[in-house]
Structure 1
């Protein structure tokens, strides 16, 4: 079962899934396969996380080892069939590979970290339905009047 480990630039376990510098993929025998760079690690939103998920699936990864993860990202990974495990952030890569650290299995989204932003505020549309626009001074609260040609004999 191939495994991916979220890494910092110093080859330690990254403190957060979406902010990991790269993901090192190892096969079931512990042999290195590929390092997937996370080009969107500094971006807000979920688009780059979905790209990572797709890339990990393409390499047949079944387990992801990381330091922390948000609830929505964890839910997405679990629903996609990934096994997700947490170890202490900044754990040495070699300690994970040799099994000398305890891994905590994450089996439900509630085990992930709360989002620091309100739902959907990350800008990717992953949260709840879009909010109604805020009314501004001078705006009518009535429905838009498109399609009307005349009002009381006056042309619009």
Structure 2
């Protein structure tokens, strides 16, 4: 079984996409592991996609997280990677002992709604109704540069 987790100072990091580094371990072969620096330092979509690609390339089947956003959770679930949210802080060295019993220290995340909503994403994809109030606009895509629409359906 190959697992991955974001880490910082020998602990599973608090937030998946904001971690400095990632570690991928093959729990069946302790010599087979890799670590890589987070390619998504600017909170950008391309960097987030690179994280997923690296996990898939290593053959990761399970990801352990403390916090994860809905969009990244969706990307992982779409790749059939199981995601487990730890119930509290956990040292990286202690992960191997739970490999068959993640439920002892974590909760399975199986629905995108179980991830955290991205405030930044919501702000980027909001609409202005003309009076300055912002509302979510799911009825169409924004094709203009400012990120706000002044559409008539509000």
- Cα distance in structure 1, aligned partners of 2:85 and 2:95: 11
- Structure 2 unaligned segments of length 5 or more: list them: 126-137, 147-154
More helix by share: 2
In the superposition, the TM-score normalised over structure 2's length comes to 0.72
- Cα distance in structure 1, aligned partners of 2:121 and 2:51: 23
Matched, 1:24 2:23: yes
Q: Give 1:52 deviation, angstroms.
A: 0.7
More strand by share: 2
- Cα distance in structure 2, aligned partners of 1:94 and 1:19: 21
Question: Larger C-alpha radius of gyration, 1 or 2?
Answer: 1
- Cα distance in structure 2, aligned partners of 1:20 and 1:67: 11
In the superposition, the TM-score normalised over structure 1's length comes to 0.71
Match of 2:122 in 1: 119
Q: Quickly say closer, same or farther: Cα 1:133–1:57, change in 2 above 3 A.
A: closer
- Written as runs of structure 1 = structure 2, the 5 A alignment for 1:1-156 is 1-8=1-8, 10-29=9-28, 31=30, 32-40=32-40, 42-88=41-87, 90-99=89-98, 102-119=105-122, 121=124, 129-130=141-142, 132=144
- Structure 1 unaligned segments of length 5 or more: list them: 135-156
Paired residues in the alignment total 128
